[in-house]
Amino acid sequence: MADRRNQLVARVRELLADALGASRNRSAAAQTAVATARERAVRVRRAALGVPQRVGAERDRRLAEIDAQHTSRLAALARQAAEAATREAPGAGSAPWTQWRRSPAGRGEPPGATRIGTVLLPEAEPVPALVALLDGGHVALDGDAEGCAAVVSALLLRSLGRAAPGDVRVVGYDPDHLGGGLAGFAPLGTAGLLTFVGPGGLGRLLDDLVEQIRRINETVLAGEHATLRELAAATGRRPEPWRVAVLLGGEELSRHERGQLDRVVRAGAACGVHLIVRGVPLPEDPTVTRVRVTGAEARIGTLPVRLDPPPPATLVTETCRQIATVVSAGPAPTPFTDLLPAPEQMWQEDSATGLTAPIGEGPHGRPVLVTLGDYPPHALIGGPSGTGKTNLIFAWIGALAARYSPAELEFYLLDFKEGVSFARFAQGRRDPSWLPHMRLVGINVNTDREFGLALLRFLAEELRRRADAAKKHEVTKLAELRAVDPTGHWPRIVAVVDEFQMLLAGRDAVAREAADLLEDLARRGRSQGIHLVLASQDVRGIEALWGRPALVAQFTLRIALPKALRILAESNDAAQSLPKFHAVVNAESGLPDGNEVARIPSASDWETWSELQHRLWRMRPAEAAPARLFDGDAIPRLADAPDFRALTAPEVGTPRNPVALLGEIIDVQARSAALRLPRAPGRNLAVLGTRVDEACAVLDAAARSLARQHRPGTARFSIACLDQDADPATRALYEDLDDAAWYDEESVAELLAETADGLGAPGSSSAPHYLLLFAVDAAAGALAARTGRATGAAHLRRILHDGPERRTHVLAWWRGVARMRADLGGPTARVDQIGAWVALDTHGGELGSLYPGTGPDWYPRPWRGLFFDRAVHRTGQTIIPYGPSR
């Protein structure tokens, strides 16, 4: 029992020992785990203490990185914004005042926005703060008065600087300061670019702005474009100026004024009408930019802005003076090429019903067309010297010549003033080209009114020819004639006479006949396609024109240049306010309702015209010939005369009626004055006057032309020089003639005696004999020296009387009518033996005995003569002696 207890005790003790060992092991393990946990807890606590520091450092790093990215992005955006602002507001639109100068936008280019300051951006490149004004909208200012005044000055000056001079017109309404707020811009007023509206005038101002908007929408935009900016971009030109109304305070608006102001805000920007207001509430509209000013800063909407300082007063004043000076001088002309069709469209128009071409550009950018046809048939152009009359004629001629071929249009041009500007239409030494349409160019004809009369006679003959053709075909108008006679040559004719009053000046026969011809051509020419264009500096004193109301009434097309008088109707003073390079075109006889203002291009300088003329010249028909050029200051040459070149000697015998050419007739065809010398009484020539060179020239041309009609040895030429001053010319003639004999004071009596005695004597030669006596009156003593037989004077009279029927003709120069009559037998002697004469410096009153009636209307002038052949002429014929042959 005890053993069992002992065994049980031992067993319990063993179990307890195992349990105690296990407990001790577990306790040790627990203590180890606790130690480990405590160590881990320490580490955790230590790590936890370092987390905020690391997180803060990482946060700071990321924030710094974000700040750097933001700053870089902001700087890039600021640079892009600044570049965009510079593009939107180039040059004068944004330049600082220290570097500011005018930089007008190009044709059709928008003016851009306007800078008023810089946007407040921290730590970034300054960005200009811009507002849209011209073609953009309106600006409403509020706040500090001084700051608002600076903004107004900046907006106006920059707008003026970005536009061409005259393209911005300012209206000021400043009832509080009576215009003082815009005092620096006052110089613009001298050119009409700045006007002020006084207190109480706001309603009228708004009414005018609304009317301008209505007019522009109806007549300028006309539904083709939405805005003037679009029109300018499409056409390359701006037809209307910008109108900027500056409204600086005032009383409360009336209901009508409020309504008009709303209309301007809604529709003004599209039509170039803009508002800058302070103290006047504007309605909400996308076109309105609101600027709230506080001292030197402002807000555009919510955008903070630092305002630029106001422009220096001297800069404002000087800029406005420069603009006013340019505008007062007048706008530059438009390019001549604007009047011309494209090269492939030249000469494509038909002139059957009329001639239509642009003469310039109208106020709305559209061409102003001018027509010559059944109505209006003729044109009257007027303008003082220097206003561009010649340039206008060039522009009109060029526009017509580019559209109508020479088969459709011919020009006859006559310029009575001194100058050679029209000579370029004819072939010249420097430029061989000519205008293919030009048939006649007369220049420097201020002393040759006969040439103008010759042109009118030529046109009258052409009118008769066309009228006869129309009658033959039973039609009345040119268009009908061309339809029934398509193979005929029936171009329209435009005759331009510049300074035409010279032709009608005075009360002589030339003026009377010219006025009669003008009236007939003006009345009947319209139906036959003959159109007159008369130009003058001033027509107040032209009695021959204004005394004929029926003549003036035919010139229904009137073109008045600046300051022109009596071109338009008496009640029409539109020309008095025209700027330079402009003209009033009126096809209603000058009545005010017919006015159109045209801006005339520059067309008269050599380079501008030369390009067109050379192009048309290269297009000319193969049979085209140069225009006839008559230069009143030039002396024609016998060798160049067509009539002289046509003279030939017959193969056998002598010409039946030899012709002596004396000079060039002042006419359209450049014919020669010809004296026929048949075997008939009186076929002698007297040259009368004291001008040695001219007298020698007449006889020289006569001798050379006669010699050209005789084969060598078939005619005799006797040259007697009795004046030493004539010796060089007569010697040259003697040396050039093969069948000539020379005589002087010592031998001239023998010549006359021999010739007189041989007239009709048996066995005398039947060959023509021409006595060329130079200053025959100088040898009175020599002619009377022979005694015992008839005196020398009697011999001369016998030769004059009997010689022509025996082919002996006297061509003599007397230095006065009285001297000639003395040689012919005295004051009462008959002068029938002098069948023809050329008067040089001999007045018409001295020629009464040689001329039918009371004597010719002849006033001598250098290198001109009056030729009269009683067998041919009813009136004298003005001629130009041919120049020396050597």
- pLDDT per residue over 773-799, tens digit each? 999 988 665 555 443 334 678 889 999
Tokens of 406: 């020479």
| Reported confidence tier of residue 852, pLDDT bands at 50, 70, 90 | confident
* Backbone φ and ψ of 540, nearest 5°: -65, -35
- In the chain, what percentage of residues exceed pLDDT 70? 92
Helix axes 792-802, 817-824, angle to 10 degrees: 90
pLDDT at 84: 61
Residue 672 contacts residue 790 (beta carbons within 8 Å): no
| Reported confidence tier of residue 122, pLDDT bands at 50, 70, 90 | low
* pLDDT of 804 above 80: yes
Residue 632 contacts residue 443 (beta carbons within 8 Å): yes
Tokens of 410: 């011919």
* Backbone φ and ψ of 143, nearest 5°: 110, -145
User: pLDDT tens-digit profile of 420-459?
Assistant: 778 888 888 778 899 999 999 998 888 888 888 899 999 9
| C-alpha span between 460 and 454 (Å, rounded) | 10
CA dihedral over 793, 794, 795, 797, signed as positive or negative: positive
Name the H helices within 367-448: 389-403
- Which distant-in-sequence residues (6+ apart) come within 8 Å of 733 by Cβ? 699, 700, 703, 704, 719, 740, 772, 885
Greater confidence (8 vs 241) lies with 241
- The position carrying tokens 């021959």 is 544
For residue 339, count other CB atoms closer than 10 A to its CB.
24
* pLDDT of 56 above 80: no
User: pLDDT tens-digit profile of 551-588?
Assistant: 788 889 999 999 888 888 888 888 888 888 899 999 99
Listed range (617-626, 750-759, 783-792) with the worst mean pLDDT: 783-792
Whether the pTM exceeds 0.75: the reply is no
Tokens of 141: 């200012």
How does strand 769-774 pair with strand 716-721?
A: parallel
Tokens of 294: 């506080």
Return the SS3 of 387.
coil
Q: What is the mean pLDDT of the chain?
A: 86
Element (H, E) at 822: helix 817-824
User: pLDDT tens-digit profile of 495-509?
Assistant: 999 888 888 877 778
User: pLDDT tens-digit profile of 104-114?
Assistant: 887 667 788 88
Greater confidence (263 vs 91) lies with 263
| Reported confidence tier of residue 545, pLDDT bands at 50, 70, 90 | low
Greater confidence (407 vs 849) lies with 407
| C-alpha span between 828 and 597 (Å, rounded) | 67
Greater confidence (725 vs 826) lies with 725
| C-alpha span between 689 and 494 (Å, rounded) | 40
pLDDT at 68: 63
The most confident of the ranges 39-53, 167-181, 807-821 is: 807-821
Greater confidence (79 vs 724) lies with 724
Greatest CA separation for the chain: 232
* pLDDT of 82 above 70: no
* pLDDT of 367 above 60: yes
| C-alpha span between 126 and 364 (Å, rounded) | 41
What is the DSSP secondary-structure string of 810-849? Answer: EEEEESSHHHHHHHHTSTTS--TT--EEEESS--GGGGGG
| Reported confidence tier of residue 833, pLDDT bands at 50, 70, 90 | very high
pLDDT at 85: 58
Burial class (CB in 10 A: 0-12, 13-18, 19+), 766: exposed
DSSP state of 446: T
User: pLDDT tens-digit profile of 640-663?
Assistant: 999 999 999 888 777 778 999 999
Greater confidence (609 vs 50) lies with 609
Tokens of 611: 């390009």
